């Protein structure tokens, strides 16, 4: 098959999509606007007179996540799948680097090493590649990391630990809706993937708030 044909090959991964038409997944497509809205809300709240580099970068990244996912749930092909996945991976990588470098105050080298270990740890969950998880096992290392970070910070820095824990809860709920999408197709034809978008975009919003609060020194008060 020609490489270009492969890139534009149609993908049908979700209950809501019944045809190859652009607007076959209206709920899955429209709920991506939350990533964009939340990203702009945080951008608008940034005081650019101070150094808010991480919050700015992560907010822009969140907006790109929304755009990429919208493209995937409208055009739904191999090319737009990568437009969906790559910004998500970049966001996860940047946020956890921010956590190790800024929140834990590790050196740049140590932070990079920890991020590499974190990203590679996703391979530990490959054995959970069962239909019941619908591919959600690829995010389990992120879920575990949020709860582990919260646990480590809980004793000495309870405010930021609570926010990481809330993020973990939101992600846990998100993954449930992502996982059961196919299971409920017969009884709930539109599926539950749009609920994954709603909750995971709320998680991203929470993570952006963590970044902004940290850079504003709120957790030191």
> What number of residues does the chain have?
221
Q: What domain count does the chain have?
A: 1
- Has residue 124 been placed in a domain? yes
- What is the sign, positive or negative, of the torsion defined by CA atoms of 64, 65, 66, 68? positive
pLDDT of residue 3: 73
pLDDT of residue 52: 81
pLDDT tens readout for residues 48-105? 777 789 999 999 999 999 999 999 999 999 999 999 999 999 999 999 999 999 999 9
Please state, in angstroms and rounded to a whole number, the distance separating the CA atoms of residues 132 and 183.
8
pLDDT of residue 221: 60
pLDDT tens readout for residues 164-206? 999 999 999 999 999 999 999 989 999 999 999 999 999 999 9
Range of the domain at 100: 17-220
| C-alpha dist (Å) from residue 144 to 23, 33, 133, 147, 167 | 35, 27, 16, 5, 11
- Has residue 7 been placed in a domain? no
- Has residue 99 been placed in a domain? yes
- Has residue 207 been placed in a domain? yes
> DSSP readout, 199-218?
HHHHHHHHHHHHHHHHHTTG
pTM, 2 dp: 0.95
- Has residue 12 been placed in a domain? no
At 1, the pLDDT band (50, 70, 90 cuts) reads low
pLDDT of residue 29: 98
């Amino acid at each position: 098959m020609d490489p270009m044909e492969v890139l534009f090959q149609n993908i049908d991964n979700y209950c809501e999509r019944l045809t190859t038409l652009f607007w076959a997944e209206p709920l899955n497509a429209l709920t991506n606007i939350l990533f964009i809205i939340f990203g702009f809300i945080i951008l608008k709240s940034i005081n650019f007179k101070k150094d808010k580099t991480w919050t700015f970068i992560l907010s822009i990244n969140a907006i790109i996540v929304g755009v990429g996912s919208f493209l995937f749930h409208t055009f739904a092909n191999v090319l737009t799948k990568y437009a969906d996945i790559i910004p998500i991976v970049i966001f996860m990588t940047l946020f956890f680097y921010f956590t190790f470098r800024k929140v834990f105050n590790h050196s740049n080298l140590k932070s990079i090493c920890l991020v590499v270990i974190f990203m590679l740890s996703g391979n530990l969950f490959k054995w959970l590649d069962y239909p019941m998880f619908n591919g959600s096992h690829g995010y389990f290392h992120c879920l575990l990391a949020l709860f582990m970070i919260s646990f480590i910070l809980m004793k000495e820095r309870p405010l930021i630990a609570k926010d990481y824990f809330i993020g973990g809860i939101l992600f846990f709920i998100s993954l449930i809706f992502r996982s059961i999408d196919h299971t409920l197709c017969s009884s709930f034809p539109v599926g539950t993937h749009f609920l994954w978008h709603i909750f995971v975009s709320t998680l991203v919003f929470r993570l952006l708030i963590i970044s902004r609060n940290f850079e504003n020194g709120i957790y030191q008060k």
